[in-house]
Amino acid sequence: MKVLIIRLSSAGDIVLTSPIIRCLKLQKNAEIHYLVKPAFAATINQNPHVDKVWLLHDDIDETIALLKSKGFDLILDMQKNLKSFRIRKGLDVKSISFNKLNLHKWIFVNFKINKLPQKHLVDRYFESVQSLGIKDDGAGLDYFISQEDELDALALVQGIHYDVLVLGANYYTKRIPLEKCMEIVPQCTRKVVLLGGTDVADVAKELATQFPEETLNFCGKLGLNVSAGIVKHAHRVITGDTGLMHIAAAYQKEIHVIWGNTHPAFGMYPYYGYRNKSRFQSYQTEGLSCRPCSKLGYKSCPKGHFKCMMENNVKLMLA
């Protein structure tokens, strides 16, 4: 069986499809092809269960033309948007599309009525492919990096026992603000490695200035997979709702999740697999009439107060 999986973005969402990839490969000996946006190819390139990674072209018709002759038996549309719909229709083979429950999410965001199923997104992925005869193996998520990236990561943290504090996130309202970070760092008993992109470089610089002995700042200096290597060898990870949160879960790390505008009820909290012990703690501001304000996030707090983060009483429950 030759299968094309469509999951165009983002890094965290791609990681969440890894149990489906693994089980299709190992239980059905499927030939797995994966279609992704070029910006996120590094998230899937090293997965040994994927036979071929295809990059989405700006011209959808060009992508369809490229894939049409490959003889796919099945398309798994894990993205389910207009682009993936056009690709499915253009390839004209059997397909299974995942129900993202966007109406339920919209009701939760706009009316604060939660009708979402009380289960993780990965469990719903498996429900959507029941007809293929594959079962969840309980092993959790996968994330693979090259040996070179792992060695680069180890060289940066050689001889250091450390925790990771993830500052970056795609949306501002998912990021842990400087004020909260200033409370978090003193609670840690190990060196705190700061990870994130250039968009949080100023926050990281301020933290490194305030806590020069306690922190090690790599924000804006590393690619995703070297950052993943640092996460892989951390003692614990403190993070918002980010892609690195899911990568940490793939490495079975102890995770402390500080929730901003999003909510664990969306089903995208750390996933360890039923054969593994769950190792995460959630911290969130309860009772806010405006939360969740989005299933994704915003460039700034729509209300201007950012209480979901600023009033989050983060007292880390550290083992």
Residue with structure tokens 């997979």?
225
pLDDT class of 103 with cuts at 50, 70, 90:
very high
Rounded Cα distance between 76 and 89, Å, is 13
Whether residue 97 has pLDDT greater than 80: yes
At 293, list the tokens.
Answer: 């304000």
Domains, the chain, with CATH or none:
2-132 (3.40.50.2000), 147-310 (3.40.50.2000)
- Residue 316 has a pLDDT of 84
Cα 184-187-189 angle, rounded to 5 deg: 125
* For residue 319, pLDDT beyond 90: no
Q: What is the pLDDT of residue 317?
A: 73
**Tens-digit pLDDT profile for residues 253-308:** 999 999 999 999 999 999 999 999 999 999 999 999 999 999 999 999 999 999 99
Query: Taking the alpha carbons of 230, 144, 171, 127 in that order, is the dihedral positive or negative?
Result: negative
DSSP H helical ranges for the chain: 11-16, 18-28, 60-68, 82-91, 102-111, 121-128, 147-156, 178-184, 201-210, 224-232, 243-250, 307-310
Among 21-25, 225-229, 310-314, the minimum mean pLDDT is found in: 310-314
* Percent of the chain predicted with pLDDT > 70: 99
* 141, two tokens: 């998520």
- Sheet of 52-55: strand order equals 52-55, 31-36, 2-6, 74-77, 95-97
With residue 111 as reference, give the H or E element that holds it: helix 102-111
CA distance 13 to 170: 12
